Amino acid sequence: MLSNRIGVLLITALAPAIWGTTYLVTTELLPPGRPLLAGVVRALPAGLALVAVTRRLPQGIWWWRSLLLGALNIGAFFALLFVAAYRLPGGVAATIGAIQPLLVAGLATGLLGERLSRRTVLAGAAGVAGVSLLVLRADARLDWLGVAAALGGAVVMATGVVLSKRWAPPAPLLATTGWQLVAGGLLLLPVALLVEGPPPATLSAANLAGYGYLTVIGAAVAYALWFRGIRVLSPTDVTFLGLLSPLVATALGWLALGQELTAVQALGGLIVLAALVAAQSHRTRGPRTPVAPRRDPVASTRP
């Protein structure tokens, strides 16, 4: 039903909205210069907790699928995002990352048989334009390694989203979410130790609160909502919701940190919202035949 679909969209939208708070939490609560540590703490404890609660481990082919999906959606994505953030102004990295809906739409056409409509392409282009107006600055410089990392991050995340839809999981949502968080956190851990060194010897109450928020809300809750959306909705629908992250980050910077919000940024925010509505509206006008994900015939027989 239409109301159910809108409800799922709104609940799934909470995930990128939560991720949009990461900048505020990182700058205000976490120790400086430790983004990879934040990624590890965000993913690994949350994943271990979900696996412990559900008491489910991958079986058979899902060991390597969980590892690959965890690398794409979390481990490799966080690492590439770190490189892009350090070598590019945040606005450039966010603008490049905004091409992800177009990448997902293209991959879904090839791997899932979804139709690539003109509305989707136009909405994707409008999303990139809106994010650029929202976060890009006139004096932004380009570093080609940073650009490559930002593009790589968009590609691996887009691939992870589409494969998460293609491979129907054999276990409950929280279990498969935990598998990916553990895999991504374990892959990111040696990179964090190599680049940033060991964790700080002491942490303040604010640091602990920030890490706790990222672990519980930013990872366990947000990724469960995100992967639930991918199970139910088209991956293209879901990835357009990711445009909410820079919008929420900019709004929080204005409301909580007193950052300036210009008329151009406000226009960019309106364009982002219009792109989100346009991308979803043609899919909410009536029933459509969903593309069934491919299910592992062995996994489908498991309890």
- 238-251 pLDDT per residue, tens: 999 999 999 999 99
Per-residue pLDDT at 285 = 44
- Residue labelled with tokens 């990711």: 242
Predicted confidence (pLDDT) per residue in 275-287, tens digit: 999 998 655 444 3
Q: How far apart are CA 45 and CA 214, in angstroms?
A: 10
Amino acid letter for position 72:
L
Q: Is 287 left (phi over 0), alpha (psi -120 to 50) or beta?
A: beta
Residue 48: which residues within 8 A CB-CB, separation 6 or more? 178, 182
Per-residue pLDDT, 140? 63
Has residue 38 got a pLDDT over 50? Answer: yes
pLDDT at 230: 95
State percent of the chain over pLDDT 90.
Answer: 70
The CA distance from 62 to 176, in Å, is 9
Write the pLDDT tens digit of every residue in 22-32. Answer: 888 988 999 98
**Where are any strands of DSSP class E within the chain?**
167-168, 294-295
pLDDT one-digit tens code per residue, 73-114: 999 998 998 888 778 776 788 888 899 999 999 999 999 999
**pLDDT for res 281:** 65
| Predicted confidence (pLDDT) at residue 294 exceeds the cutoff of 50 | no
Cα separation, 205 vs 276, whole angstroms: 38
What whole-number distance in Å separates Cα of residue 175 and Cα of residue 43? Answer: 14
Would you state the pLDDT for residue 298? 35
- For 154-202, write each residue's pLDDT tens digit: 999 999 999 999 998 889 999 999 999 999 999 999 999 999 999 998 9
Q: Is the pTM of this model over 0.75?
A: yes
pLDDT of residue 303: 36
Q: Give the pLDDT score at 274.
A: 95
